[in-house]
Amino acid sequence: MGRESLIDEIRTKLGDAVEGVSDSFGDPVLTVRPSSLRSLMTALRDAPFDYAVLLDLTCVDFAAGEGRFELVYHLYSLSRNVRLRLKASLSASDPVAETLTGLWKNADWLEREVFDMFGVRFTGHPDLRRLLTYEGFEGHPLRKSYPWRLAQPRIPMKDKV
């Protein structure tokens, strides 16, 4: 399946979920509606698209605006050796998306990391705890609204002389 036909295929099959198509260094980038993320991903994972690997999930905080948080998914197809990037904007007040843990096992920790760092909630996640910071940590450190350099020590720290 060539590049153009791939995008045509995605558009015809899942057209209403896709808001825009662009290009990044030769790989297609789809902007999608967050509400249809899960059904779209299910279709993309299976034949004929066959994106068997969830390479990465991360998030971008644009600091302001209604679509302040943007989830970024990277998919990879082993059989066709192509990559695909998907972006979904989430609301600033209540960033929430559906979990993909049922589709890819590694989505579990990726989503926990995004939850920890950005405070995006994933509905249906089996165990949405912090991944990198510790228990008792308040706030989400990669949010632009997190105070600059604010540390939350677990034990008393001596002051620098």
Partner 1 sequence: MSGLDFLTTRLETALGWGRKYSLFHYPFITACCGMEYMSAACAHFDIDRFGAGLTRFSPRQADLLLVVGTVTHKLAPVLKTVYDQMLEPKWVIAFGACAVSGGIYQNYAVVQGIDRVIPVDVYIPGCPPRPETVLDGLMKLQDKIQHQKQDWRWAGKA
Q: Which is closer to partner 1, CB of 47 or CB of 157?
A: 157
Q: Does 134 bind partner 1 (CB under 8 A)?
A: yes
Q: Which is nearer to partner 1, 1 or 131 (CB)?
A: 131
Cα–Cα dist 67/82, whole Å: 28
Residue 145: left (phi > 0), alpha (psi -120 to 50), or beta?
alpha
Residues 120, 61 contacting (CB under 8 angstroms)? no
Interface residue with partner 1, options 106, 133, 144, 145 (CB under 8 A): 133
Q: How far is the CB of 158 from partner 1 (least distance, A)?
A: 5
Query: Distance from first CA to last CA of the chain, Å, rounded?
Result: 65
Using rule CB under 8 A, residue 138 touches partner 1: no
Tell me how far, at minimum, the Cβ of 148 lies from partner 1, in Å. Answer: 8
Stretch that binds partner 1, among 14-22, 76-84, 95-103, 143-151 (CB under 8 A): 143-151
- CB–CB of 45/37 below 8 Å? no
Instruction: Report how far residue 17's alpha carbon sits from residue 114's, in angstroms, rounded to the nearest whole number.
Output: 23
Rule CB under 8 A: choose which of 12, 26, 127, 155 binds partner 1: 155
Nearest to 100 by CA among 50, 56, 134: 56
What is the nearest approach in angstroms of partner 1 to the Cβ of residue 97? 24
Give the Cα separation of 98 and 118 in Å (integer): 15
C-beta of 59 vs 84, nearer to partner 1: 59
Residue 22 identity (one-letter amino acid)? S
- Cβ closer to partner 1: 53 or 131? 131
Interaction of residue 160 with partner 1, rule CB under 8 A: yes
Does position 129 interact with partner 1 (CB under 8 A)? The reply is no
DSSP bridge pairs for 58 = 72
Q: Which of 13, 116, 147 is nearest to 108 (CA)?
A: 116
Q: Which residues of this chain interact with partner 1, rule CB under 8 A?
A: 132-134, 141, 146, 149-155, 157-160
